Structure 1
Amino acid sequence: MNTTIPNCGINFKRGSDPLMAIYIVVFVVGLIVNLITLGPIIQQVRRRNVLGIYLLNLSISDLLYTLTMPLWIHYYHNDHVWTLGRPACLIAGFLFYSNMYVSIGLLCCISVDRCLAVKYPFHAKVFRKCRYAWILSAVVVLAVMGTHAVAALLDDDFEKQEGCYESYPLTVHVARVNFIRVAFGFFIPLLLLTFCYFKMFQGVQKSISVEDRGKRKVKLLSIAVIIIFAFCFTPYHVILLLRTVVFYQDQDNSCPFEIQVYLYFTVSLAMSILNSVVDPILYVLVSNGVKEDMKNMARFPFRRKRQASRTFSTVNTMLSRN
């Protein structure tokens, strides 16, 4: 039986160096981008901007997601052997996977909000309130993290694993959780995103009051979000689903398939983390309020220098006159 072979006999050294390189780049770039955009987003929240609330929660989620990268870099460098203790593995894995799906959930909230604002601008005012945005964000976070917490607590094989949140072959418990993740964490959000941006594009195209530039902006946003979501999350969830289906077909002999798809699966997981870099760039660029705040923050030091220069010259003039 293949299940007697530890980790299905997979050679974890294959592709470790490129994988670590991707994680290092994502950690550095993601941390910088999310920290830069955090200030302007907070300004939007203070102005009671509904979109700003979703963006703030998304930014915090992406930051938590990004901060786990050094632990995974160490893990891959150590050939998938976790040496930092099981509690650290539990926390790192919980934050990593929870925030992946929190990000997806918040992207759905943002998409629905944008759809309501464009398609039903007058009727949507009742629902597009800060209080509801905070409640909905909290529901997403609690639902995702609650599900992952229950899944982790029910995993009887967690302490026996040499790796961290990796099962080769899968266990029955992990396989069941995978079906939930693929269905509710990927397919349903993808359908919701596609529906929302189709409706947005449809509504804007029919609108006479929206100029051509605005229509192009909505069109590009719609296409960009779907492409980015599909690029970052589709490969990972498709391979995850295939692994789970193959495991259920023959639980004792799924290792040959695990060996075949291992490298593709790790690359797809690395692709999924790119979302933490793209999120702030995409939604900040389409939010005029955040863009203006970023421009003002960028100009602020120069304004202070010019103001100080004018003050200094005024004082000099006064002194020379006296």
Structure 2
Amino acid sequence: PSLALTSGKALCPLVESYKYILLPLTYSSVFVLGLLLNGAMLRLSCRRASWTCTTIYLVNLAVADLLYLFSLPLLVVNYLLRDTWPFGELLCKLVRFLFYANLYGGILLLTCISIHRFLGICYPIRSLPYRTRRLAAAGTATSWALVFPQLLPTFIYARTGVIDNRTVCYDMTSPENLGSYFPYGVALTASGFLFPFLVILACYCLIIRSLTRHAGDANPAGSAARAKSIRTILLVCGLFAVCLLPFHITRSVYLFVRVYRVADCQLLQRWSLLYKIWRPLVSLNSCINPLLYFLSATPSVACQDYCAKV
């Protein structure tokens, strides 16, 4: 077992041998699969004669995924060396920053796509002036402009340290800074995940209501398209919740235990295990994003035609 510093003085023995097998396998698989899928998505998008509004969001999402994916080999080496970080503090900070930039930048881009779909399906004619390539580019720029200031503390908090005569790259921050990191982590969860998730759910609920109103349409093609749209929306919401919600719950509780329940080593072991299992699984979003929004997307034809001209 390894020793986890839970406060300035207390040490809890944690059994973490599982992560030296689980994490290299998970990160290696995500790296290869994500590289292939996002690379293919970028290649196909760049070969299009003109980009639609949705393509602009998708390309930004793929770039965010690729930037994160290129950091995964460093983590694979780290865990193969049994939590020994040989790459220096700057790369430690960069790896942690890229994880959260991909996570929360991707969530905001998915929110933009959801709003775009909501307008295209629920208000197809009235929303045409608001579904242009220029506004889509402004939406992506705004998303990144919101994400980077939010994540600057992450770059500052991330650091290396020495445990048992080996250099480690702390997952969130060093133990002595956890008290100040906790409120920042809670605020980041609320602003970066909870609020966008509620917006996405609201958009998709309204889209489903709009689609089901026309469920009795005699047109077979229209009925099939609506059924596919509903299945895609349900899949998006389901994967969003399965991948991201457990991660944010386990991360928040784990932080709480590390800060306020420092003496309960059994509780710390339980939530450390849950958090460190879900943390690599959230990386699967880098593989799911191109599948959901490139292969299964059903963008409005009207939007494609209009955006191509603007």
TM range (shorter): 0.7 to 0.9
Deviation of the 1:6 alpha carbon: 7.8
Which one-letter code corresponds to 2:46 in the other structure?
Answer: I
1:125 aligns with 2:135: no
Judged with a 3 Å threshold, the aligned counterparts in structure 2 of structure 1 residues 4 and 48 are, in CA distance, closer, same or farther, namely closer
**1:127-154 CA deviation, whole Å, 9 max, x = no partner?**
111111111111111221222124433x
Contact 2:52 2:133 in 1 (8 A): yes
Deviations 1:68-111 (A, max 9, x none): 11011111112223221001111111112211111111111111
Amino acid at match of 1:24: S
Matched, 1:136 2:158: no
CA distance in 1 between counterparts of 2:127 and 2:93 reads 41
Secondary structure of 1:82 counterpart: coil
Cα distance in structure 2, aligned partners of 1:2 and 1:269: 19
SS at match of 1:262: helix
CA distance in 1, matches of 2:65, 2:110: 12
Identity of aligned residues (%): 25
Matched, 1:282 2:292: yes
Structure 1 residues 288 and 230: CA distance shift in structure 2, 3 A: closer
SS at match of 1:79: coil
Q: Distance in 1 between matches of 2:270 and 2:298?
A: 47
Secondary structure in structure 2 of the residue aligned to 1:9: strand
Matches within 5 A, 1:165-244: 165-167=171-173, 171-207=178-214, 208=217, 211-244=222-255
**136-145 or 270-279: which moved more?**
136-145
Asked if the contact 1:7–1:167 (Cα under 8 Å) also holds between the matched residues in 2, the reply is no
Q: Is the 8 A contact 1:119 1:203 kept in 2?
A: yes
Distance 2:195 2:244 in 1: 13
Q: 2:101 aligns with which of 98, 103, 107?
A: 98
Alignment check: 8 A CA contact 1:53 1:134 kept: yes
Which has the greater radius of gyration? 1
Helix, strand or coil at the partner of 1:165:
coil
In structure 2, the residue matched to 1:262 is: 272
Please point out which of 13, 33, 37 is paired with 1:29.
33
The separation in 2 between residues aligned to 1:60 and 1:2, in whole angstroms, is 37
Q: In structure 1, what is the Cα distance between the partners aligned to 2:109 and 2:6? A: 40
2:146 equivalent to 1:163? no
Normalising by structure 2, report the TM-score. 0.84
1:275/1:96 CA distance change after superposition, 3 Å: same
Between the aligned partners of 1:20 and 1:6, the Cα distance in structure 2 is 29
Could you list the runs of 5+ residues in structure 1 that have no partner in the other structure? 290-322
Contact 1:151-1:177 within 8 A present in 2 as well:
no
1:135 partner amino acid:
A
Q: Please report how far the alpha carbon of residue 5 of structure 1 lies from its aligned counterpart in structure 2 after TM superposition.
A: 5.7
In structure 1, how many angstroms separate the alpha carbons of the residues matched to 2:97 and 2:154?
10
Identify which range, 228-237 or 144-153, moves more after superposition. 144-153
Matched, 1:3 2:13: no
- Amino acid aligned to 1:40: L
Question: Higher strand proportion, which one?
Answer: 2
- Give 1:38's aligned residue: 42
Instruction: Assess if the C-alpha contact under 8 Å between 1:12 and 1:80 holds in 2.
Output: no
Q: Report if aligned partners of 1:232, 1:271 keep a CA contact under 8 Å in 2.
A: yes
- Residue 12 of structure 1: CA displacement? 3.5
CA distance in 1, matches of 2:36, 2:11: 36
CA distance in 1, matches of 2:201, 2:122: 15
Give the aligned partner of residue 304 of structure 2.
none
Change (3 A) 1:88 1:7: farther
- Aligned in 2, Cα 1:39/1:2: closer, same or farther, shift over 3 Å? closer
CA-based RMSD: 2.4
The partner residue of 1:56 within 51, 54, 59 is 59
Q: Distance in 2 between matches of 1:121 and 1:149?
A: 38
- The number of residue pairs the alignment matches comes to 285
One-letter identity of the residue aligned with 1:243: Y
Give the CA deviation at 1:261: 1.7
Paired position in structure 2 for 1:79: 82
Give the Å deviation of 1:221: 1.1
SS in 1 for 2:87: coil
